[in-house]
Homo-oligomer: A and B are copies of this chain.
Amino acid sequence: MLKLTKKADYGLMALKYLAEHPETPALSAKDVADAYGIPPQLLAKVLQRLTKTGLLRSHAGMNGGYALARDAREISAFEVIHAIDGPFFITSCTKGTKSCELTPSCTIKEPLARVNETIAGVLKSISIHDLAEREHPAGKSGEHQGLVELTL
């Protein structure tokens, strides 16, 4: 319930790792997987997905690997989750494929849709950079802080 997919989790970790190593031209899936203990093959697929949606740039062959396609602060957590897990919906009434049977009679889907928007907003306001730049003692770059509107 309301739990993040591990794949998305892994995706975030990997992106953060890449963001922390801007010097290297490319890091292989195995590199990242080893760094954290993530199943390599699984991470591989996650990264492939991220590549296909344009968040990463890949390069096959020796010394190949992945690199961020854009600046770390231009990539939001929302994009990552969306890329890996597909459309973001809190409820089961996606109106896309397998909608909830009682969508017509349901009276809370509109308010919940707004909650959905709010949470999406939270995720959109978080960038990979925000995740990465944290460890560093607590210097000048001040912590990322934002306000999210909630309107029912």
Footprint of B on A, CB under 8 Å? Answer: 1-6, 8-9, 12-13, 16, 35-38, 77, 81, 85, 88-92, 100-102, 105-108, 110-112, 115, 118-119, 122-123, 125-126, 130-131, 134-135, 143-152
B150 in contact with A3 (CB, 8 Å): no
Provide the residues of chain B in CB contact with A107, threshold 8 Å. Answer: 13, 16, 36, 135
- Complex Cα distance, B80 from A102, in Å, reads 20
Are A122 and B150 also in contact (CB < 8 A) when A4-B90, A90-B3, A134-B110 are?
yes
Q: List 11 A-B contacts (CB under 8 A).
A: A6-B92, A9-B92, A13-B107, A36-B107, A130-B152, A143-B151, A145-B151, A146-B149, A147-B148, A147-B149, A147-B150
Q: How far apart are A16's CB and chain B's nearest CB, in angstroms? A: 6
- Complex Cα distance, B131 from A125, in Å, reads 26
- Complex Cα distance, B122 from A78, in Å, reads 17
Are A3 and B131 also in contact (CB < 8 A) when A122-B148, A147-B147, A152-B143 are?
no
Q: How far apart are A1's CB and chain B's nearest CB, in angstroms? A: 4
